Amino acid sequence: MADPPLKLVLIEGVGEPGSLNHLGVEVATTYDVAAAATSLAGQGLETDLEAKTTCCYALQDEVWVGAPDGERWEVYTVLADAPDSGDLGGDQRCCSAVSTDAPAAAACC
C-alpha cells in the first residue's frame, strides 16, 4: 500500500516517561501484511510474523521489524475485536510489554 492512512494512537504506558512503546502501520488485509513482510525481508531486515494474535484490543495479523534507531515497528491488519477486550486492564493492555530489547514474538501483549 503506497499511501496508508495515518492513524495516531496514544495509550498511556508503564515505561519510563517519554519512552516510545512502538510504532505501527495499519493495512487493509492479511495479504498486505505478508507483502510488507516480504518487502522488509527482501531489504535484509529481520522480521517476525504473527498470525491471529491478540494485541491492542484486537485480533490481528502483523509483522514486526526493528528500526536502525531501535524502535519497534509493526505492519498489521485488524481481523476482529479481541474477545473480552474490555476486561484486559492492568499490564495486559495494548502491547504494554513491547520493548526494543524483547524478541518480537514476545513484544506484544
- Across the chain, what does the average pLDDT equal? 76
96 inside domain:
yes
- pLDDT at 39 exceeding the cut of 90: yes
Residue 34 belongs to domain with CATH number: 3.10.180.10
SS (H, E, C) the chain: CCCCCCCCCCCCCCCCCCCCCCEEEECCCHHHHHHHHHHHHHCCCCEEEEEEEEECCEEEEEEEEECCCCCEEEEEEEEEECCCHHHCCHHHCCCCCCCCCCCHHHCCC
**Per-residue pLDDT at 23:** 86
Confidence at 96, pLDDT banded by 50, 70, 90: very low
Count: domains in the chain: 1
**Please, how many CA atoms are within 13 Å of residue 41, restricted to the half-sphere of its CB?**
11
Range of the domain at 44: 23-106
36: nearest Cα among 61, 68, 12, 11: 61
The predicted model scores a pTM of 0.70
Span 45-90, pLDDT tens digits: 999 999 999 876 889 999 999 988 888 899 999 999 887 645 444 4
- Sheet of 58-66, strand order: 23-26, 72-81, 58-66, 47-55
13 inside domain:
no
